[in-house]
Amino acid sequence: MIVWITGASSGIGEACALEYAKKGASLILTSRSDNKLAEVSRRCLEKGAGQVSILPYDLENPDGIENLSEKAWNTFGKIDVLFCNAGVSQRTTVEETSMETVRKLMEINYFAPVAMTKAILPRMVAAGGGRIAVTSSIAGLFGFPLRCAYSSSKHAVYGFYETLRAEYYDKGIRVTIVCPGRVRTDISINSIGKNGEKYGKMDPGQAGGISPEKAARKIVKAISRGRREVLVGGKELVMVYIKRFFPGLCARIGRSIKPV
């Protein structure tokens, strides 16, 4: 099994790489940091990965994604699982969020995975099928304070990949949309704050979230089973069902939630 994971140098991406490594998969790992990728690669090989190749890349740059995808496919001659996991968040109100930040989050969270998917999809179809997973969020299912750009990018992700699933199911493509709630990663620390600077703080809710390893076990199982959607987190996931069945109540709760 050949698996390409973006955002693989930390958090959910790293944990999923290690989980796949334990299953003997060969891995292609992408993130901005080649040093961190090298360390994750070493650990994956120790866990039992067949082979590991690292392809460092900044997904904010759209111009090289086609070439990046071609390199990834040619690394082992195919890709069985494409997991578009890389992403960035924010911690600003609508008024505080610059259009530069909105565009940055859309570029990384939405346009990059879409471009990668469009590059890999025809190759997968020609090979007889494959699995494509993408990280959205529970914030991609309902809006949340201080997440206007993040939530909108994740809503867009959900719409694109639902459509992909509908169009290509009969061609052997299985699509899994991953919707994390609170997972104990550095996403809040690395979020964009006021004036575009790094937020630099761990949200209390994030700190109390489930471990990336627990999330990874659930995600990898869901992808292997071809599940349409996987919710990952703790008690906060109840909001998904409140939104589905009691949208007015969800709106009231959302207004009252402390956003960090």
Is 158 an annotated catalytic residue?
no
Q: How far is CA 76 from the centre of its chain?
A: 23
Helix (H) or strand (E) holding 26: strand 26-30
Q: Which one of 20, 57, 110, 150 is the catalytic residue?
A: 150
User: 157 Cβ partners below 8 Å, 6+ apart?
Assistant: 109, 110, 113, 134, 135, 136, 140, 177
By the 10 Å C-beta count (0-12 exposed, 13-18 middle, 19+ buried), 256 is classed as exposed
User: 106 Cβ partners below 8 Å, 6+ apart?
Assistant: 149, 152, 153, 156
What tokens does 147 get?
């997440």
Instruction: Report the catalytic residues.
Output: 150
